Amino acid sequence: VRAGEIAEEYPVVGVDHPALEAVGLMSSRRLPGLVVTEADGRPKAVLAASQVVQYIVPDYIQRDPSLAGVLGEKAADKIAQRLRTAKVGDLLPEHPQELPVLQVDDTVLELAAVMARLRSPLCAVVDQGRIVGVVTASHLLELICAPLT
């Protein structure tokens, strides 16, 4: 089985995409993350849902979560406002998680090896530099474990 045969359609957003729209896509489909590309379409990074949460919550509250209890409900609405003017590239941490990129004719074992090494929840599958789909870790496990059950 080759990577190209198991890759699935998955939301891909560019670094210049509005952050709020990208987060809406992620949350409405309850995805653990999105694939982020450079402006020219080359795969760049994984944006995990947990990284967006980190972006929204101010540093001083992350350092002392007990402050959050004091701030009340309105503060929660307010902090999300940061997303309104942000772009996807702004949400990426300074050292974003490296996105594993596989070729369509790589084997499933090669795909597993690269995902394991990079500890990534997903990888992009490309054909001549263009993303044709994504394989998530849980999808990969389904394929690997199916013969065992």
Q: Apex CA 82: angle with CA 77 and CA 86, to 5°?
A: 145
Distances 43 to 104, 126, 138 between C-alpha atoms, Å: 14, 9, 21
Nearest distance from C-beta of residue 40 to its own copies, angstroms = 26
* DSSP letter, residue 61: H
Number of Cβ atoms within 10 Å of the Cβ of 86 = 18
Name the minimum Å distance from CB 81 to its own copies.
7
Q: How far is CA 122 from CA 57, 73, 75, in A?
A: 25, 34, 33
Determine which residue in the list 11, 119, 129, 130 makes contact with its own copies, applying CB under 8 A. 119
Minimum distance, C-beta of residue 72 to its own copies, in the bound complex (Å): 8
Shortest separation between residue 64's beta carbon and its own copies, angstroms: 8
> Of the candidates 38, 42, 50, 85, which one interacts with its own copies according to CB under 8 A?
50
Taking CB under 8 A as the rule, does residue 131 contact its own copies?
no
d(CA 106, CA 127) in angstroms, rounded, equals 11
Interface residue list for its own copies (CB under 8 A):
1, 20, 23-24, 26-32, 48-54, 56-57, 61-63, 65-69, 71-73, 75-77, 79-81, 83-84, 106-110, 112-117, 119-121, 136-142, 144-145, 147-149
